[in-house]
Chains A and B, each alone.
Chain A
Amino acid sequence: MQERRVQTDAEINSDLLNNVLKARRWYWPAVGISATVMFAAIVAWACVIVMGLGLTGLNRPIMWGFFVTNFVFWIGISHAGVMLSAILRLSKAEWRRPATRAAEVLTVFSLMVAATNIFMHVGRVWRLLTWPLPYDFARGIFPNVRSALIWDPSAITTYLTGSILFVVVALIPDLAVIRDRTTGVRHQIYSLLSLGWRGTPRQWKLQIVAGFLLSALLLPVFVSVHSIVSWDFAAAIAVESWHSTIFAPYFVIGAVHSGVSGVVTVMIILRYAYNWEAYIRKEHLDALGKLLIAIATAWFYFFIMEILASLYNLEGQEIALRELQVLTWPFAPMFIVFIVTGYFLPVPLWLFKSVRRSPMWMLVTTISVNIGMWIERFLIVVPGLARKQPLTFDWSSYSPSIFEIIMVTGTFAFVTLMMLLFSKVFPLIPIFDIKEGQILSDEIQIGRRKVPALKVEE
């Protein structure tokens, strides 16, 4: 707020719609590159569907590899939306304003791509029509609701539906802005989408109440989704290091850690790509950096508790697994990279205000966090399975095939492409939110100093 520049509504409209109304020079090349990578992934996936999962590196006992790791990773990224949008909206933090839509949209696309990872992982994709859906028809069997793998689709469907609706409801006023600035077919489409929005006090009040209510409803869902994903691992007893009571909150806080870092990465890219320095200001990055310190440290506490508890029981199998995970090639260097990039590099840097206020350093540190958190998920999934059986002749190792690597890379391309396409059609910073922030900002004179202030209704 301290660094806010006073702007007219027309200026705000123009700045925030600069890609919607007219594509920027880098836009179509960026779309082309993302689409190409995604296309390569689709081709690789088609090969896997036709020729079978043997094309991947999956084999007994490591039946879960890159795809499940990537699934958990993207579910994690999806938690950013609710964390930033819902919690900051409920706590009325002013600095949420430029971040909420990007976070919510990232959530939606991350969830979609997370679900896609399961489709990829299953091999014969059409079988998913029969496994989680509650119908029996000629099969004589319903999905087993006692399985954590069935809790997953119920949670992800709820979260995805809720997140999409959250984005849609909050978009309506901005669609009205685009309606008022377009002509011809575009005007007609946006008129339809804006549902006749006029901006009456009733509509605005409902919009604000909707923001609070949906935030309050989505928060418990967000906690439950990643907890249910964690129970895919923790509920059963087959694999060492998985059957731990801390998995649910550990996964959730890890998701918040990687998700918020992901949103910060996206925001910095948007700031640079769309020249939104006046909207995504250094004070926002500073506030997000401080939030990330708290989240990262909480995550680290859970991580320590998880390791401590696993060694606490002094069981040979568990200790052997931890030695594999932390001290043995090839997982040992991965562990070091994970812990450094996930915590020990970014957090000490974030303690410095100059780092928090530097877009370049925030970009580097938040990308580093997500590299670390991807590896963390890999280290949870694969080493445990590598030592799943008590008999050593069943022990094995895993290396991903080129198909898995391309398909996982394709998921990143998918999210990038979808964000780009979204930004062409809808504004990635909520226009009315920025305008509201401007209306509510004020000043108080204390002695010789003018202190920035905020109007508060109650």
Chain B
Amino acid sequence: MGHNIHVPKLPNADDFSRDLLASHASKGKLYRNALLITGGIFSLGILAFLVRFFTEEFNSDNREPWAYYAAMVAFLLTTAGAAPIVAVALRLVKAHWRRPMTRVAEIYGSVGLLTLLLFIPLLFLIPSASGRRTIWFQDHDGPFGIGTYGKIPGAPHAYDLLALLFLVICGLALLYLSALPDIAKLRDQKSESRVNYNRLSLGWYGTWKQWKIVNLGVTLLGVFYLMLFIYTMSIFSIDLSLSLVPGWRDAIYPTFQTLTALQAGLAATIVGLYLIRRFARLEQYIGVEQFWGASKILLALSLLWFYFWWSGFIVYWYGRIPAEKDILELFMFGPYMALFIAAFLLCFVCPFLILLWNSVRKTVWGPTLAGVSVLLGTLVDKIRLYVPSWSITDSLDKHALSSMPGTNYPDIGDLLMVFGGIAGAIFIYLLVSKIVPIVSFWEMKEGMMLRTVRRYLRREIIVHGKPD
């Protein structure tokens, strides 16, 4: 008998509605414990920050004590800031398997509020753009006063802050607009939630015009978010690390950081999807298909991680300019070599070896494991890049490092700030996940409408509608 191919039964909208609403309404022990633990660690992080604030000098000449804090903020921007782009990109290319993932990715945009808040202290620690190399090309009286490009008032602080502010606003707007139909659904359920869904739903009734606005708005906001993120990540990485190291001139660095962010954002989405699938008991609706689709992109991004790193490395290695050799020494083969090796393994080697095999890509655990590896690797990588940058005590008008600094090991305060920040991000995510449904109901329902199983000759086959 020839192999008769049967396709698993597709879920229906009513079952999904019931299961999603039940999951949204429940605030089980697990959820409360998670809130408590993350909230607790977050509070410890705040405490550690305050202790350091009152015991150390808080100005741009004393950046070293804040190195790990800066790395933590960079990590939050890199992971949670980039995660909404997963939803944006998958919507733009109309990947049919994106539907359970979009809300999971977009909720990360709310963590941007925390990132913005945590960024504000850093503003006081970044030196002004005068008298040193920056992309803001300030007026120079110094040794390389070669022409002037005019003063850009407030650079770099104002522009970094504004970029991050617009990014956060855009991310929140994107989350809100894409969740609007689901907020209306929660309004209609008349649940006992403390959230005022009546007001939040803004009179949504699902008219043709309202749907058009949501679809267009989500697309436009998504594109803006993508462009804003690339801009923000580029200038953030330059202003908060590259320009703080004398002699570090690296054209690919901002792009490399943006790419790392996309990889980390996808990893965060995959890991989040796994946890939601498991703990919100939505296994029926979040299947292998999502992990398989995401794993291919994660494999590509991991390869690109290596490629961007290599592009920078080979040019420095080949040229053998002393200033560039010092940069290689500082960030890769000197005081932070262990971190570099760890980041290389976790961001590239492990995800590559895990995701190389199609049989592993087609599981739930495989891409999740790769995602966890990438997230750990990204944290290590941010520490590798930001801690040395913030630990340089040379004057910033120099052309090269005068000496190789030693390794800046973290103390208990640094560890509390780093883990506190990460815990704070998870805390906010958990809170927001109880305001909007964790999986987008309207997108899932749209997907269910566009998908059917049909008999084709002697087998069953899935048919996907492609309306546009």
Binding site for B on A (CB under 8 A): 1-2, 90-91, 94, 148, 220, 223, 227, 231, 234-237, 243-249, 301-302, 305-306, 308-316, 319, 442, 444, 446, 451-458
Contacts and interface: CB of A to CB of B under 8 A. Distances in A.
Contact of A1 (B137, B296, B321, B466): B466
Given A249-B252, A310-B251, A455 B234 contact: no
A427 B454 CA distance: 34
Given A244-B251, A248-B307, A446-B449, 13 more contacts: A247-B251, A247-B311, A248-B311, A249-B311, A309-B250, A312-B134, A312-B135, A313-B133, A315-B144, A451-B450, A453-B464, A455-B463, A456-B463
For A236, A308, A312, which residue has the most chain B Cβ atoms within 10 angstroms?
A: A312
B466 A453 contact: yes
B452 interface: yes
B16 interface: no
B456 interface: yes
B315 A231 contact: yes
Contact of A246 (B296, B311, B461): B311
Given A1-B466, A309-B249, A312-B135, A455 B146 contact: no
B315 A249 contact: no
Contact of A301 (B137, B147, B230, B250): B230
B30 interface: no
Contacts of A227: 307, 311
A47 B144 CA distance: 50
Contact of A234 (B147, B255, B315, B464): B315
A453 B465 contact: yes
Contacts of A2: 466
B93 interface: yes
B466 A245 contact: no
Contacts of A314: 133, 140, 144, 146
Chain B's interface size range is 35 or more
Contact of B319 (A94, A236, A248): A236
28 contacts: A94-B466, A231-B318, A235-B314, A235-B319, A237-B319, A244-B252, A245-B312, A245-B315, A245-B316, A247-B311, A248-B252, A301-B230, A305-B254, A311-B137, A312-B135, A312-B249, A314-B140, A314-B144, A319-B147, A442-B463, A444-B465, A451-B450, A452-B465, A455-B454, A455-B456, A456-B464, A457-B461, A458-B462
B303 interface: yes
For A223, A247, A319, A453, which residue has the most chain B Cβ atoms within 10 angstroms?
A: A453
Interface of B: 93, 133-135, 137, 140, 144, 146-147, 230, 234, 249-255, 296, 303, 307-308, 311-312, 314-316, 318-321, 449-450, 452, 454, 456, 461-467
B80 to A, nearest CB: 22
A231 B314 CA distance: 9
Contacts of B253: 245
Cβ-closest 9 pairs across A and B: A309-B251, A246-B251, A248-B311, A245-B252, A235-B318, A451-B465, A245-B312, A444-B465, A246-B252
B316 A446 contact: no
A174 B391 CA distance: 64
For A231, A246, A456, A458, which residue has the most chain B Cβ atoms within 10 angstroms?
A: A246
A313 B321 contact: no
Contacts of B466: 1-2, 94, 451-454
A388 B296 CA distance: 44
A455 B462 contact: yes
A179 B364 CA distance: 47
B463 A223 contact: no
A202 B234 CA distance: 50
B160 to A, nearest CB: 15
Contact of B450 (A1, A312, A316, A446): A446
Contacts of B308: 249
Nearest to B147: A319
A250 to B, nearest CB: 8
A93 to B, nearest CB: 8
A312 B133 contact: yes
A111 B147 CA distance: 44
Contacts of A243: 315, 319, 321
A316 B465 CA distance: 59
B241 to A, nearest CB: 14
Nearest to B293: A91
Contacts of A313: 133, 249
Contacts of A319: 146-147
A2 to B, nearest CB: 8
Contacts of A237: 319-321
B315 A235 contact: yes
A303 to B, nearest CB: 11
Nearest to A147: B318
Contacts of B146: 314, 316, 319
Contacts of B320: 237
A452 B467 CA distance: 6
B441 to A, nearest CB: 18
Nearest to A307: B251
Nearest to A253: B255
A446 B465 contact: yes
Contacts of B454: 442, 455
B124 to A, nearest CB: 24
B133 A223 contact: no
A315 B311 CA distance: 23
B17 to A, nearest CB: 19
B251 A245 contact: yes
A454 B454 CA distance: 11
A456 to B, nearest CB: 5
Given A249-B252, A301-B230, A223 B307 contact: yes
A446 B135 CA distance: 54
Contacts of A456: 461-464
Contacts of A451: 450, 465-467
B244 to A, nearest CB: 13
Given A91-B93, A245-B253, A455 B321 contact: no
A297 B146 CA distance: 31
Contacts of A315: 144
Contacts of B249: 309, 312-313
A5 to B, nearest CB: 17
Contact of A305 (B255, B314, B456): B255
B310 to A, nearest CB: 8
A246 B133 CA distance: 19
A456 B465 CA distance: 10
Given A91-B93, A236-B318, A316-B146, A444 B463 contact: yes
A316 B234 CA distance: 25
B303 A220 contact: yes
For A237, A245, A451, A455, which residue has the most chain B Cβ atoms within 10 angstroms?
A: A245
A49 to B, nearest CB: 33
A389 B447 CA distance: 63
For A235, A306, A444, which residue has the most chain B Cβ atoms within 10 angstroms?
A: A444
A388 to B, nearest CB: 15
For B296, B316, B464, which residue has the most chain A Cβ atoms within 10 angstroms?
A: B464
A301 B255 CA distance: 9
Contact of B315 (A247, A305, A316, A454): A247
